Chain A
Amino acid sequence: MLIHDTALVFGRYARQTLRSRFQLLFGVLMPLMYLLFFGPLLTGLPLGARGDSWQVLVPGLLLQLGLFGASFAGFAIIIEKQMGVVERMRVTPVGRLPLLLGRVLRDAALFVFQAVLLVLAAVAMGLRAPLGGILIGFGFVAVLTVALASLSYALALRVPKPQEFGPAVNAVSMPSMLLSGLMLPMALAPAWLDALSHLMPFRYLVDAVRAAYVGDYTGPAMLYGVLVAAGFAALAVTVGTRVFREAGA
């Protein structure tokens, strides 16, 4: 039943996404611009990290894609809530977990697709990284998307006024991006900023994907990355399912 229901909800939203080719490609524009117009600035700089500048930048851009894309996933459900679609689904016997999972897995599929486009463009720009590491990077994008999209739907269903949703998401996603070393590694940071960034879950994900891109799959960076990503996703899905169960307002 869990798989049947999840597949059903996933199918509905996947069809919705496929109808909108614009949505399929639009999300990749911002990271692509960073790649084109920011990436070349880094090529000659000492970044204090292993690997060349592309191996440092591309993991950051991948997670930036997930971070900004998935945190705004909730916008769609605000519209659906106003149309009554959320309630209509909540009175069917479909489980509450599938109502969430079907949606967030669609988001994960969308962002992994965009991540593939981004990596292909990066390879054309000069990125060289082991295939295993690149695939692990996609895995992290998927898990990050599941976690953030779950929280985004939960927030969107709970926020009293729709216009409060955007600012609330920005208030969280901007510092998350800056404090996790997405653009430049925190190895360059003064000690206080580095210490602060360790409080950000995304920091561990970025470090893990950067390690993967230089072929280091068994070090502490990977271990912490996997643990933080899995814990964060489990927590977020629990919160999201709860909101679908109760969905106040």
Chain B
Amino acid sequence: MSSLIHTAGLAHTFRTRRGPVEAVRGIDLTVGAGEILGLLGPNGAGKTTTLRMLTTLLPPTGGTATVAGCDLVGDPAGVRSRIGYVAQSGGVDLSVSVREELVTQARLYRLSRTEAADRAAELARELDLTELLDRPCAALSGGQRRRLDIAMGLTHRPRVLFLDEPTTGLDPASRAGLWRLVRRLRDTHGTTVFLTTHYLDEADELSDRLVVVDRGAVVAEGAPAALKERYAGSPRASLQDTFLAITGRGPAPADQAPVAV
């Protein structure tokens, strides 16, 4: 299995008034093609900072990384053209119609006017948004909005899709729908998915492999069952117990959004 993401010692130190803060201290990880990788960790562990570095939003202050075959620091434009990113806050203008956002997004990825219109219709079909195309984004429900966010991230058929806390704030039915969608993406398009999550059930249910970070470094990684066996003594142990055994504390409560540093 070829790797689509590879990092070595990837680090970011924020300069603050109270001195440097090492948000990410050196992360080594490899994500294979077609893999769904869950990045798990308590608040402030460095999940969001890691994701922001891998998506070119934040330049690393140390280490190297290759994403989708391009060097993260040397060729950020190459990385951008090959990855999709869905932020926790989404990224649509609420006053604009669903169609206009999908078309604009496709045009930002340099599709021609006609290609962009076709692609918008195709994405709408694939993500069950066709009926909503002419509504303003503000009129969508939470689950519909999330599907739109993901459609935007898939505009250019990226090889890697980054999802930051994809189901935060969704009702159970929408969450289950989103999980099915992520699996379908991987199964039908071979998309590699890199997601961060607060929810242990989501990590357990969805990920082929988990990477647990704490205090800016990787503290454990492996398939969910393997992690449970190694840290909690049984492959049928709960991920909650496993997580506690790894980090010595519980995961972040869902209502506390991580500080986006």
Contacts and interface: CB of A to CB of B under 8 A. Distances in A.
B64 interface: no
Contact of B90 (A8, A83, A90): A83
B234 interface: no
A82 interface: yes
B109 A83 contact: no
A249 B109 CA distance: 24
**Chain A interface mostly helix, strand, loop or mixed?**
helix
Contacts of A80: 93
Contacts of A161: none
A72 B81 CA distance: 33
Contacts of B88: 84
Looking at A15, A94, A246, the one whose CB has the most chain B CB atoms below 10 A away is: A94
Contact of B92 (A5, A15, A85): A85
Given A4-B110, A8-B108, A93 B81 contact: yes
A86 B96 CA distance: 15
Interface residues of B, number: 29
Contacts of B110: 4, 93
Contact of A85 (B81, B85, B93): B93
B200 interface: no
Nearest to A87: B87
A92 B109 CA distance: 6
A198 interface: no
Contacts of B104: 8, 12
Contacts of A12: 104
A157 to B, nearest CB: 12
B57 A83 contact: no
B31 interface: no
Contacts of A21: none
Contact of A93 (B55, B92, B109, B152): B109
Nearest to A7: B107
A15 B152 CA distance: 20
Contact of A92 (B58, B90, B95, B108): B108
B80 interface: yes
Contacts of A82: 89
Nearest to B94: A83
B94 A91 contact: no
B92 A83 contact: yes
13 contacts: A5-B108, A8-B104, A8-B108, A12-B104, A80-B93, A83-B89, A83-B91, A84-B88, A87-B85, A88-B152, A89-B91, A93-B80, A247-B57
Interface of A: 4-5, 8, 12, 15-16, 19, 80, 82-85, 87-94, 246-249
3 smallest A-B Cβ distances: which pairs?
A88-B91, A84-B89, A84-B91
